[in-house]
Amino acid sequence: MSQEPMDVVALFGLKGVQHTPISIKNARVSQHYKASLTATFNLHPEAKNAIVLEEDLDISIDFFSFLSQTIHLLDEDDSLYCISAWNDQGYEHTAEDPALLYRVENMPGLGWVLKKSLYKDELEPKWPTPEKLWDWDMWMRMPEQRKGRECIIPDVSRSYHFGIIGLNMNGYFHEVYFKKHKFNTVPHVQLKNVNSLKKDAYEVEIQNLLREAEVLDHTKNPCEDTMLPDSEGKVYVIFIKMESETDTSTWTELAKCLHVWDLDVRGNHRGLWRLFRKRNHILVVAVPISPYSVKKPANIKPIHLEPPTKEEGAPAEQL
């Protein structure tokens, strides 16, 4: 066990807890998370929530302010699973507004808060056992755990992942997926309309956005910036083909050409993604699986992208 963490704990006059590592590889990490969460809530029985931070994260100047402005939502809205400081799709070229918040269906992690009741009543009793070589975060994202609940995230992340060497990390992976994540450097950010993140209010918010949104020209290639008009501060919507939850080819190809997370489907709310391009707010709606598909004009054909064949070796084009 490294002495460094305990030295840091002593430096700040805090209480540190060490435990004997259990199991191997991913399971060892998973058991460490379980031991840490259990110890946290056992040592602080009065605490209603816990903040989880890994040692390879930097946190923004307003990290705790961000949480203090949002944490009440966990008590007031039982449709929420967590609050996370991390936006999976929030890169330097796709995130814009440090005051803006979203609801997403996945659990991003990387600087997050969960309720004591969620952990003690639901997660702890069925946490993966040491012989299961599972990733704890992938397990937490499974429908059996999430139960349809969502997480609150910021448009501009309040955490930054700088760790390059790890069980599931290397230099190339970090360069492609983490290095260019946007990280808030603005102090004292007053978050916008925090209570509009509650379940019913958020639906009103999305409907208002869709009402305001201008439909982009679907005959153009969404991978090219020419699809977007030369404007700033507008709301646009794109409709893409997604027949089922497993029909992910169009989103994956679009994510690749937008240079955002493309390894699985993340960061959406009921089949709708939100991001920025050229300082415009872009909504991407999956048709027909998203309930927001009803907003698609009859004359618009959803964009369909397929991976390039080995012979082509070129970026996917619109079909």
The residue from 137, 200, 217, 264 that is catalytic is 137
* Short-list 114, 9, 99, CA closest to 60: 99
For the record, the structure tokens of 80 come out as 């929420």
For the record, the structure tokens of 266 come out as 């993340």
Query: 155 catalytic, yes or no?
Result: no
Asked if 113 and 73 count as a contact pair (C-beta separation under 8 A), the reply is no
Dist. CA 276–CA 236, nearest whole Å: 10
Kindly give, in sequence order, each residue whose CB lies less than 8 Å from that of residue 165, ignoring residues fewer than 6 positions away. Answer: 171
* Short-list 195, 221, 237, 169, CA closest to 71: 195
Cβ-count burial 289-308 (b if 16+ within 10 Å, e if not): bbebbebbeeebebbbbeee
**DSSP SS3 for 151:** strand
Dist. CA 65–CA 33, nearest whole Å: 25
Asked if 168 and 133 count as a contact pair (C-beta separation under 8 A), the reply is no
Residue 59 C-beta-side C-alpha neighbours within 13 Å: 17
Evaluate the CA torsion angle 16, 20, 25, 26 in order and state its sign: negative
161: left (phi over 0), alpha (psi -120 to 50) or beta: beta
| Residues marked as catalytic | 137
